[in-house]
Amino acid sequence: MLSPPEATAPATYAAPGPVPATPDPAARRRVAPWLAAAAAVVWAAAMALHAWIPNTGVNAGSLFQTLLPWTGLGVPALLVLAAVLRSRIAAVAVLAPAVVWVTLFGGALTDKRSDGGGLTVASHNVGEGNTDPAGTARALAGSGADVLALEELSDASAPVYSRELAAAYPHHAVIGGVGLWSRHPLADVKAVPIMPWTRALRATARTPDGPVAVYAVHLASVRVSAAGFTTGRRNDAARELAAALRAEPAPRVVVLGDFNGTYQDDALAPVTSRLRSAQREAGDGLGFTWPAAFPMVRIDDVLVRGMTPRAAWTLPATGSDHLPVAATLSR
């Protein structure tokens, strides 16, 4: 007798899972140009709206404004990206940051210097670590300036500058780390309390064209660290300086010094909104002053009120890590 066949369990099959999506190179090629174009537009917006970048936390707004002239480097970088992608839309979008940069800084690239002016002034952070203060003094004496403002003087270097500059500048005043040397008599000399220690002084220069209030200023230093762009003490000093300038009765004012910030930095607006930059009005180029070996920012300046800048320029490097700045002014 035949036995019935053994029952065989039916075969079971697992339901197929989702198949991983395979990257679509064609899709990537279609999206990449639009992403590059969007990056160009965003970069242009950041440049144009730099005043709206907040300073909360790490002070990103001040740092961006300090480096604002260098944002133009984004234009060739974006053009290279457009060329790599062979994208016309990305190339056209690069026009946006290019136009914004030219609007912001194109005028600075023209030579706005003119003849005339009865008063030549100069300012130099001579550097506390300067190993050749005598040579620096001689270079400044040969600049032709009528009034010199020096910052970051030390107890050891101040007498050297006084000795080396005495022949060309018979009138001088030093308070703390700042000093003024002048061919014209100085009166009403006093310290300006912008910080707990003296970093600014004010005097009246009795020029042939009338009195001029002259300030020598050194605002607090700033640092870029893991905590961000530390500008608190500098900003406090700027507000104190602005208060002194508001109370200044003289119709003609010149503020010379190391501001440890640029004219574009809105954190310095309490000062810069009341004064005009000689470099911006009568310079040739961007006039970067620091670091002297490869200048990247202009943190030293000649600011005026009640006077007209005729020319502004930087002087050759000395033993300092800053370049000196100079300007010729008229009534």
Asked, for residue 138, whether it belongs to a domain, the answer is yes
Residues 6+ apart with CB under 8 A from 66: 229, 261, 262, 264, 265, 297
Clarify whether residues 61 and 97 are in a common domain: yes
End-to-end Cα spacing for the chain: 132
Q: Which residue has the tokens 């010149």?
A: 254
Clarify whether residues 144 and 193 are in a common domain: yes
Asked, for residue 208, whether it belongs to a domain, the answer is yes
| C-beta of residue 287 within 8 angstroms of C-beta of residue 105 | no
Taking the C-alpha atoms of residue 299 and residue 301, their distance in angstroms, rounded to an integer, is 6
> Which domain covers residue 80, as residue numbers?
27-109
* Predicted pLDDT of residue 1: 44
Clarify whether residues 153 and 267 are in a common domain: yes
Clarify whether residues 65 and 130 are in a common domain: no
- Listed residues 66, 87, 109: the one ending a domain: 109
Clarify whether residues 165 and 104 are in a common domain: no
| C-beta of residue 324 within 8 angstroms of C-beta of residue 140 | yes
User: Per-residue confidence at 14, pLDDT binned at 50, 70, 90?
Assistant: low
Clarify whether residues 129 and 203 are in a common domain: yes
Note the pLDDT tens digit of each residue in 284-323: 999 999 999 999 999 999 999 999 999 999 999 999 999 9
Clarify whether residues 244 and 270 are in a common domain: yes
Clarify whether residues 180 and 92 are in a common domain: no
Whole-number Cα distances in Å, 279 to 41, 108, 167, 287, 302: 30, 8, 29, 7, 7
- Listed residues 71, 91, 109: the one ending a domain: 109
Vertex 193 angle, CA 187 and 198, to 5°: 85
C-alpha gyration radius of the chain:
30
Taking the C-alpha atoms of residue 224 and residue 263, their distance in angstroms, rounded to an integer, is 18
Asked, for residue 3, whether it belongs to a domain, the answer is no
Q: Which residue has the tokens 């029952």?
A: 7
Asked, for residue 7, whether it belongs to a domain, the answer is no
The CATH number of whichever domain residue 301 belongs to comes to 3.60.10.10
Clarify whether residues 155 and 300 are in a common domain: yes
Asked, for residue 82, whether it belongs to a domain, the answer is yes
Tell me the percentage of the chain whose pLDDT exceeds 90.
87
Clarify whether residues 154 and 285 are in a common domain: yes
Asked, for residue 17, whether it belongs to a domain, the answer is no
Q: Return phi, psi of residue 144, to 5°.
A: 85, 5
Clarify whether residues 232 and 302 are in a common domain: yes
Taking the C-alpha atoms of residue 272 and residue 281, their distance in angstroms, rounded to an integer, is 13
Query: What is the domain count for the chain?
Result: 2
For the cut 80, the answer to whether the pLDDT of residue 10 exceeds it is no
* Predicted pLDDT of residue 21: 56
Asked, for residue 2, whether it belongs to a domain, the answer is no
Within a 13 Å sphere around the CA of 278, how many CA atoms are in the beta-carbon half?
Answer: 34
Taking the C-alpha atoms of residue 117 and residue 329, their distance in angstroms, rounded to an integer, is 5
Taking residues 196-222, report their average pLDDT: 97
Q: Please give the single-letter amino acid code of residue 148.
A: L
Taking residues 130-144, report their average pLDDT: 96
- Listed residues 81, 109, 137: the one ending a domain: 109
Note the pLDDT tens digit of each residue in 247-292: 999 999 999 999 999 999 999 999 999 999 999 999 999 999 999 9
User: Per-residue confidence at 2, pLDDT binned at 50, 70, 90?
Assistant: very low
Note the pLDDT tens digit of each residue in 19-72: 565 556 666 667 899 999 999 999 999 999 999 999 888 999 999 999 999 999
Asked, for residue 311, whether it belongs to a domain, the answer is yes
Whole-number Cα distances in Å, 262 to 34, 204, 279: 35, 26, 11
Clarify whether residues 102 and 188 are in a common domain: no
Q: What is the mean pLDDT of the chain?
A: 93
* Predicted pLDDT of residue 331: 85
